[in-house]
Amino acid sequence: MTEVTDADFETEVLGAELPVLVQFTAEWCGPCRQLAPVLRDIAAEEGDRLKVVQVDVDRSPRTTMAHGVLATPTLMVFRGGEPVRSMVGARAKRRLLAELADAL
C-alpha cells in the first residue's frame, strides 16, 4: 500500500485512471492499524480494478483538511478525481468489499 502526501495527492489520487481507495490514517490510531491488513488484502486482490493508498493526517494536513476528514480511519473512494464514497471507522473485509462494490 502506497503512502501519498500533500505533495503527490493530486497526481496519485485525483489523476489516477483507476478508482482510488484512500485511507486517512495516523500512527497513533489503533483502528487504523486494525484496518491495515484488510486494506493490504484488498489492494492485492483488487489491484487491477482499484488502487489503495494511505494518507497520514499528521504529515499531510492540507489534504486532510481539504477533504473534511475529522476522524481516523476515514476511507474515501475517488473516481475521476472526485470523491464518490466516504466511510469512517474500521470494518471487516467482507463488509468493506460490499460497501465498495457500487463504487467500483
Q: What are phi and psi of 55, to 5 degrees?
A: -125, 120
Residues known to be catalytic: 29, 32
CB 56 within 8 A of CB 3: yes
Would you kindly state where each structural domain of the chain is located, as residue ranges? Answer: 2-100
Three-class secondary structure of residue 45 per DSSP:
helix
| Burial bucket for residue 8 (CB in 10 Å: 0-12, 13-18, 19+) | middle
**Would the pLDDT of 103 be above 90?**
no
Q: What is the pLDDT of residues 12-60, one digit of tens each?
A: 999 999 999 999 999 999 999 999 999 999 999 999 999 999 999 999 9
**Would the pLDDT of 67 be above 90?**
yes
Second CATH level (architecture) for the domain 2-100: 3-Layer(aba) Sandwich (3.40)
| pTM, to two decimals | 0.95
What's residue 63's pLDDT?
A: 97
Classify strands 2-3 and 51-56 as parallel, antiparallel or unpaired.
Answer: parallel
Q: Round to whole Å and give the CA distance between 7 and 35.
A: 25
